Amino acid sequence: MAYNTFTSLWAPPSVNPLTYKALSVPILNPFDSYGRVFFFSWFGFFVAFLSWFAFPPLLTDTIKKDLGMSQTQVANSNIVALLASLLVRFISGPLCDRFGPRWVFVGLLMSGAIPTAMAGLVTNPNGLIALRFFVGILGASFVPCQVWTTGFFDKSVVGSANALAAGLGNAGGGVTYFAMPAIYNSLVSDGLTRHQAWRVAYVVPFVIIVVISLGMVFTCDDTPTGKWSQRHLAGTDTPITTTSALERGNFSSGATTPKKMQEKVQTGLDTEAQVDSSRGRVLEELVVAPTWKETLQVIFSLPTLSLAVLYACTFGAELSFDSFLGSYYSKNFPTMGQTKSGEWAAMFGLLNVVTRPLGGYVADYVYRHTKSVWAKKIWLTFLTIVSGAFFLAIGLTNPMSEATMFGLVAGAAFFLEAANGANFALVPHVYPFANGIVSGLVGAFGNFGGIIFNIVFRYNGTDYARSIWIVGVITLGVSALQSWTRPVPKEAVVVARQ
């Protein structure tokens, strides 16, 4: 298969003839339509994360002193930044199902870019807290990022595609620890005062976000068949015509294979033998606008909630670490200073480039070889349990040796971020027709976990070790409680909808 060859990294991918989804991920080929969507998915999320977490690197010292902020106010600003993302992630999931992930992606980027550029207007702590709320909208871009890649890549590789896009995107949270202090220091060297420099620095992420948004608008498609309204076009010569779907206007009775896509369909498949099952397979993966009853079914099902609470522990912990890790290093190793402690804290986020994709890749690997979604579930649960164990080790030992501290944090990052990738390798299997809702809910719970854990940090003040072992206990408890739940609904959703 294409995903086993090294050339698949840049070669135009073969395409599933039933769904038009790619059977490999052309990471190094932005000229191919699938590669281009992949590039803008991860890079759009990357710049969103870079801007979303652009404040903590300078908040440890520069901004905190300039605005006269207390430790409590700093913690409140971190919580508020996550709160906005939590709320918007809930909304963006259904919006993706209705309007398509590309336009939702662009809207979120532009909505967060404008307040980012307005950092120069902040004059007091409350102003910064309010500003960070609106900048937090950028964090919701994760949802359309994952929904977009899910719509372009086959289930056999979707875990890798989602994990790669999210992993490379999450790295923006690490790069910003290098980028923002570097921009700030450069502006100070050019003659600006400390008061002016940090404000001007936030114009840079604003410009980058605007450029990427325009690239999405003018160079990418909503779906493999073109516009979002054309997503009903099937990958077979047999029109998709189901009564229930036609009544709701989600399919076209005259849908046929677009000629331009036939050239990319993988050869060697017994197409005739697949015709009888093609309708069910395409319907299963086709995103529609669910009714309220279906939405509630999706939200409150155990498979969805299981993934949501696990993501609350893993991504939620990552968000809280991104906010406090630099301060934790500064406390235990005061000779580091703001810049060096920030650079070491950046390593936690930068590991996403390797660890999150690895989690998704292994999930795909075990799925292809076992043909069981349970294999993905077991892999995810294992990663989450080991993450909790690392949190306990860090919190209970409170390392005062740099080597021990950095080693334990790197171990925690490895399993934690791999769990994030494994989670969204499983998400597309749960309710494919409502993938936006599932992605939005699970993504929102990640922010919900971040808020809960940031509150834990807030009320423990600078006793970071105590906060971390509390996070570990919660993570282990949640992992054990959800381990028995099914990874997907018992009945096939497509059958229930026909």
pTM over 0.85: no
- DSSP one-letter code for 98: H
Rounded Cα gap, residues 66 and 201, in angstroms: 15
Q: Which of 445, 320, 318, 462 has its CA nearest to residue 383? A: 318
pLDDT at residue number 5: 58
Low-confidence ranges of the chain (pLDDT < 70): 1-6, 232-290, 491-498
**340-388: pLDDT as tens digits:** 887 888 888 888 889 999 999 999 999 988 988 999 999 999 999 999 9
- DSSP one-letter code for 153: B
Q: Which of 42, 367, 465, 66 has its CA nearest to residue 74? A: 66
Q: Which of 98, 132, 59 has its CA nearest to residue 330? A: 59
Domains of the chain: 28-225+292-497 (1.20.1250.20)
267 CB neighbour count, 10 Å cutoff: 7
pLDDT at residue number 265: 44
pLDDT at residue number 244: 33
H/E element, 395 = helix 373-397
Rounded Cα gap, residues 373 and 370, in angstroms: 8
Sequence letter at residue 322 = D
